[in-house]
Amino acid sequence: MQDLTTGSLTGHLLKTTSFMLVSMVFQTLYVLVDLFWVGRLGTDAVAAVGISANLSFLVLAISQMLGVGTTTVVSHAAGRKEHDQAIHLFNQSQVLSMVAGVMFLVVAMYYRTAYAAALSADASMQRQTEDYLLWFIPAMALQFAMVAMGAALRGTGNFKPGMYVQTGTVVLNIVLAPILIFGWGPFAAHGVAGAALATFIAIAVGVAWISLYFVDRGAYLCFRLSDWRPEFGAWGRMLKIGLPAGAEFAMMGVYMVVVYAITRPFGAAAQAGFGVGLRIVQSAFLPVVALGFAVAPVAGQNFGAGHGQRVRDAFKAAASMAGVLMLVLGAAVYLAAAQLMGLFSNDAEVIHVGVDYLHVVTINFVASGITFVSASMFQAMGNTLPSLATSFLRLVVGIVPAALLSTRPDFALTWIWWLTVLSTTLQMALNLVLLQREFRLKLA
pLDDT, tens only, 145-181: 888 898 888 888 887 787 788 888 888 988 898 899 8
Q: What is the pLDDT of residue 261?
A: 79
Q: What is the mean pLDDT of residues 229-233?
A: 89
Specify the 3-state DSSP secondary structure of 214.
helix
In a domain, 352, yes or no: yes
Look at residue 411 and tell me whether its pLDDT is greater than 80. yes
Give the domain extent around 385.
Answer: 9-442
In a domain, 62, yes or no: yes
> What is the residue-averaged pLDDT of the chain?
84
Q: Which of 10-19, 69-78, 203-212, 407-416 has the highest mean pLDDT?
A: 203-212
Quickly state the pLDDT bin for 342 (edges 50, 70, 90): confident
Residues of the chain above pLDDT 70, percent: 94
pLDDT, tens only, 57-105: 677 778 777 888 888 888 888 888 889 998 999 999 999 999 999 999 9
Q: What is the pLDDT of residue 121?
A: 72
Query: 130-135: which pairs have CB atoms within 8 A and are 24 or more residues apart?
Result: 131/48, 131/191, 131/192, 131/193, 131/196, 132/48, 132/49, 132/52, 132/192, 132/193, 132/195, 132/196, 133/52, 133/55, 133/108, 133/196, 134/193, 134/196, 135/193, 135/196, 135/197, 135/199, 135/200
In a domain, 2, yes or no: no
Give the number of domains in the chain. 1
Cα–Cα distance for residue pair 134/109, rounded to 1 Å:
8
* CB-CB contact of 68 with 232 (8 Å): no
Cα–Cα distance for residue pair 309/439, rounded to 1 Å:
10
Cα–Cα distance for residue pair 378/107, rounded to 1 Å:
31
* Angle, helices 123-155/192-211, rounded to nearest 10 degrees: 10
Q: What is the mean pLDDT of residues 335-364?
A: 88
Residues of the chain above pLDDT 90, percent: 20
In a domain, 1, yes or no: no
Quickly state the pLDDT bin for 28 (edges 50, 70, 90): low
Look at residue 429 and tell me whether its pLDDT is greater than 80. yes
In a domain, 312, yes or no: yes
Nearest to 424 by CA among 294, 300, 290, 281: 281
Cα–Cα distance for residue pair 107/138, rounded to 1 Å:
11
Q: What is the pLDDT of residue 336?
A: 92
